Amino acid sequence: MKILLTGGGTAGSATPLIAIAEKLKGHDILFIGTEDGPEREVVEAAGIKFQSFIAGKFRRYISFRTPIDGFKVLIAIVKAYFFLGRVKPDVIVSAGSFVSPPFIWAGKFRGIKSLVHHQDLQMTMATKLMKKNATVLTKAFKEIPLEAIWTGNPVRDLSPTTSEINFQDDKPVVLIMGGGIGAQKVNELVNEKLLEFCNIIHITGKGKKGLELDSKNYQSFEFLTDQMNEALGKADIVVSRAGLGAISELSILGKPTILIPYEGAQEENARFLEEKNAAIVYGQDNLTQEKFTKKIKELIDNKEKQNSLSINIRKINKSDASQTIAEKIIKLA
């Protein structure tokens, strides 16, 4: 069976697809992603064939780039149509991203069945564009306003395979990450005072900087592939953006979490967890280094709150989502 996975632009739409691919080993799988997104590295690290593709962005606001992107979308549809005729996949699978609609549309013309998985609580433009042409729709949460099968959100195997991130001091470990492309505003909150009471694993994002110091309590990385599971496993507390890929993994691991959502769909995701007492949420515009340090210290000192957050975040996701969706893909083929 030949399966075409499509998504990218951020790691958020790639990680669920990688998780699904883990359940489809033995089949011919190709991942179509964006030309300059961070997904290539994580996809290839997972042993999946990757090919970049042109992607135009659909905007809900006025921009001088809209005509350019509109032209790119038309080119992408034509290219996707002929690409599918050459590759001949049995099923096309998307978990979001603007690289995906041309393949779902062209696949419909070609008579190729497709599955679109929606992650965010807020309806995204990409899903709105794809839903009428998808054969099967699935969703991460029951509360999502979309007529789709509630499967939970796929999560890759999170078992650590490395042992390279080590600290000399027996202090709590805090993992700070800003999503697949990093977040400079989150990076700027990290400061030396944190190292007085915790060890820091800091994932800055490619081309972005963390603290420039040599400390036994601080390890900084632009991006992690094989070591990401180790970082997650060793973290006592996680500070993260509020993308559904990250939230879904933190749910399976039961990590006490502080969310600093990016504006838009992530704010809705963060509110959802906050209402269920499954994460602590702070707006980035209201945080200073001093406030950020204080909030982390408060959570480290409050073991009861950590335990409550851990229990509640575990309830957010279904642990068998990857297997459920993989079975639906096989049935479609």
165, part of any domain: no
**Higher-scoring residue by pLDDT: 68, 24:** 24
* Same-domain check for residues 105 and 187: no
* Same-domain check for residues 279 and 310: yes
What is the domain range of residue 255?
Answer: 173-314
Tens of pLDDT along 137-171?
A: 999 998 899 999 999 999 989 999 999 999 999 99
CATH number at residue 190: 3.40.50.2000
* Same-domain check for residues 34 and 128: yes
* Same-domain check for residues 27 and 111: yes
67, part of any domain: yes
* Same-domain check for residues 218 and 238: yes
pTM of the model: 0.81
162, part of any domain: no
* Same-domain check for residues 140 and 73: yes
Residue 134 contacts residue 104 (beta carbons within 8 Å)? yes
* Same-domain check for residues 8 and 123: yes
Tens of pLDDT along 280-328?
A: 999 988 899 999 999 999 999 999 999 999 999 999 999 999 999 999 9
Residue 3 contacts residue 27 (beta carbons within 8 Å)? yes
305, part of any domain: yes
225, part of any domain: yes
* Same-domain check for residues 200 and 123: no
160, part of any domain: no
Q: Is the pLDDT of residue 274 over 80?
A: yes
* Same-domain check for residues 127 and 195: no
159, part of any domain: no
164, part of any domain: no
* Same-domain check for residues 137 and 111: yes
Tens of pLDDT along 101-134?
A: 999 999 999 999 999 999 888 788 889 999 999 9
pLDDT bracket for residue 182 (50, 70, 90): low
Count of domains forming the chain? 2
**Higher-scoring residue by pLDDT: 284, 255:** 255
* Same-domain check for residues 325 and 267: no
Percent of the chain with pLDDT strictly greater than 70: 93
Tens of pLDDT along 59-68?
A: 454 554 555 5
Q: Is the pLDDT of residue 69 over 70?
A: no
Determine the pLDDT at residue 60.
53
Determine the pLDDT at residue 70.
55
Determine the pLDDT at residue 59.
46
* Same-domain check for residues 131 and 56: yes
Determine the pLDDT at residue 64.
45
Percent of the chain with pLDDT strictly greater than 90: 69
- Written in H, E and C, the secondary structure of the chain is CEEEEECCCCHHHCHHHHHHHHCCCCCEEEEEECCCCCHHHHHHHCCCEEEECCCCCCCCCCCCCHHHHHHHHHHHHHHHHHHHHHHCCCEEEECCCCCCHHHHHHHHHHCCEEEEEECCCCCCHHHHHHHHHCCEEEECCCCCCCCCEECCCCCCCCCCCCCCCCCCCCCCEEEEECCCCCCHHHHCCCCHHHHHCCEEEEECCCCCCCCCCCCCCEEEECCCCCCHHHHHHHCCEEEECCCHHHHHHHHHHCCCEEECCCCCHHHHHHHHHHHCCCCEECCHHHCCHHHHHHHHHHHHHCHHHHHHHHHHHHCCCCCCHHHHHHHHHHHHC
Determine the pLDDT at residue 253.
97
